[in-house]
Chains A and B, each alone.
Chain A
Amino acid sequence: MNVGRRIAATWLLFGSCAVLACLLAPLVGSTRISFWRVFDSSVPFTENTDAQIFFVARLPRVLAAAIVGSALAASGVVLQALLRNPLATPFTLGVSAGAALGAMLALTLNLSSGIAGFSAVPLASFAGSLGAVAIVYALARARHRGLSTNVLLLAGVTLNSFFSALILFVQFLSDFTQTFRTVRWLMGDLDVSSYVPLMAAAPPIALSFGAFAVLPRSMNLLSVSDENAATRGVDVHRTQRLAFLSASLATGAAVSLGGPVGFIGIVVPHLVRLMVGADHRLVLPAAAFGGAAFLVACDTVSRTALAPLEIPVGVVTAIIGGPFFLWLLIRSR
């Protein structure tokens, strides 16, 4: 099969998985609703409980899961290629710690008023992630022509620890209820309850995905070595910069939407590599769609397994994803 057909097959297969997950997930939840009543136009929306559960509670949540899952998985692929490190995740370079610090401060200082209809916690977490990206980027560019991936990695990991310490310090100073809320935020929560947070997160993620679209060919060459890529006409510095900034932007927006949902950024890229191979033209779309389907599925489990109680989605992704990934790893060897 030639590459073009394989790419088309990947888009079709993984794309339909993601679409199917998004269509099926809103149909189940902690409450039993009637699908026909949801679309029953004879009942006004304000009185139609089933329609409100479907359109206000579930659909935005499923879409949030799809967006967050997709952004984190695709960012994982890009950063693993950029750093040539299979252990890299969207959270390796300090983006999530910056976001967490921002969210923590907003929760602890009880910031209530947002800007332009967007609430304070997501805004603060997005600002925190951008701050972390700016610091890491400045460090990696200082005294280097272009970006030094080594400095990027070391600065990112160090910044992660530094921000984690600041987070603990903020938590230590805050009271009991606030601490509980911040710990809960760290476990990820996709119950967005409105379309506004989705619209806030969509533009930066769309921008990043636009950048991801032009990256795969260069990433294939970069993942061998910088020299290899350079000799084949890749503008290495430009590609690295684009990869780092777009992946960080997508991660920051995803974390501000759903919290730092762990595991997706590492397990989904490796999972799809086991299925489609290492070509980034296949891996990137497969991971983007696969990440969406995976997080939508995990969130459905989180909503229904112990209903009416809810398991934090970050716990579900790790509990389901971990053993499944290990099983695939053993089977493929």
Chain B
Amino acid sequence: MAAHTKSLILAALLGFVVPLCVESPLAQTPPQRIISIIPSTTEMLFAMGAGPRVVGVGNFDRYPPEAGTRTKVGGLVDPDVERILSLRPDLVVMYGTQTDLRTQMNRAGIPIFLYRHAGLADITTTIRQLGVRVGSVKESTVLADRIEADIADVKRRVAGRPRPRTLLVFGRDAETLRGIYASGGIGFLHDMLEAAGGVNVFADIKRESIQTTSELAVARAPEVIVEIGIDTASTSARNLRAWDALPSIPAVRTKRIYELRGDGMMNPGPRISASVRRMAEVLHRDAFTGSDPRTGGGLQGLGRTATSDPRTSTGVRPR
């Protein structure tokens, strides 16, 4: 009887344990063939040392340059499922809105990592979670800690200084004041601006982006205008002179209009702290001049960085 009970318990235990044993290697073994479709997660994976295990990237993933050598598998709205499957991935990193792709991966039995970004703080959260998922816990923690420390450093430097009312533009028709897209009061661009020591003139509009008119630009009276863009080709001075049509804007009167270019500026990935710093440097020049060996300090230093590697850096163009 006792032996019978023992064997029953053993069978029951096996019944539970065996599936766990089958399941656990999948969950525990770090994935070896990772696909990442969004530029920011691709960059995160490379930054945490998981780059050699990345086999496929999104069509718009250009950083680090090594990512460009991987197979392209489509983008946020048009992932190429056939190509994804043909790469036999053991993890697909995708954005939360890619529901169709998620269904298809589930059907194919391919593990996925989903994430969503609503603001600046989510970036390091994603880095940590992704690190756990791909088995690079230590590296991802170091990376996330470094980003948070850098942002905290920027916040500390600008603390207590007058915060300029800033218009953060991320799109505009060349050489005119038409089609101006600016950051609204939510999202990582807004958070970046706040962390860099500025006050968003559209903080009251709870949208990530808004199309603003010249009337609103005048009415909101920004003291600084920061234009950011992903294309590294620096635009002509004539482009920024379009603002001269509205001389009552304080930023135009005091010539505080800056252009920050480089694909890192609009990418909620590991380079975000550098972008926050660049923004802070144009908003609070005094807080940074000649003080930090890492960037060479101040605008001059950024200018040098821009020439050394235009792909990764931000050209700063004060008028």
Contacts and interface: CB of A to CB of B under 8 A. Distances in A.
15 contacts: A30-B213, A45-B247, A46-B247, A47-B248, A48-B248, A56-B246, A57-B213, A57-B246, A110-B174, A113-B174, A120-B174, A172-B78, A189-B178, A192-B176, A303-B213
B215 A184 contact: no
A57 B76 CA distance: 36
Contacts of A112: 174-175, 235-236, 239
A53 B215 contact: yes
Contact of B179 (A49, A175, A184, A308): A184
- Which 4 pairs between the two chains have the least Cβ-Cβ distance? A112-B174, A57-B215, A31-B219, A193-B177
A119 B247 contact: no
B177 A110 contact: no
A82 B233 CA distance: 48
B245 A56 contact: yes
Given A119-B175, A177-B171, A193-B176, A309 B248 contact: no
Contacts of B210: 308-309
A193 B175 contact: no
A114 interface: yes
Contacts of B170: 177
Chain B, interface size: which category? 35 or more
A29 B215 contact: yes
Given A31-B215, A49-B248, A111 B179 contact: no
Interface residues of chain B: helix, strand, loop or mixed (majority): loop
Contacts of A310: 211, 213
A310 B182 CA distance: 13
B159 interface: no
A52 B219 CA distance: 10
A181 B171 contact: yes
A176 interface: yes
Nearest to B217: A57
Interface string B192-221: 000000000010010100111111101101
B76 to A, nearest CB: 7
B176 A194 contact: yes
A47 B249 CA distance: 8
A279 interface: no
Contacts of B246: 52, 56-57
Contact of B218 (A53, A110, A113, A191): A53
Interface string A124-142: 0000000000000000000
A309 B247 contact: no
A184 B211 contact: yes
A58 interface: yes
A121 interface: yes
B286 interface: no
Contact of A191 (B174, B207, B214, B245): B214
A113 B248 contact: no
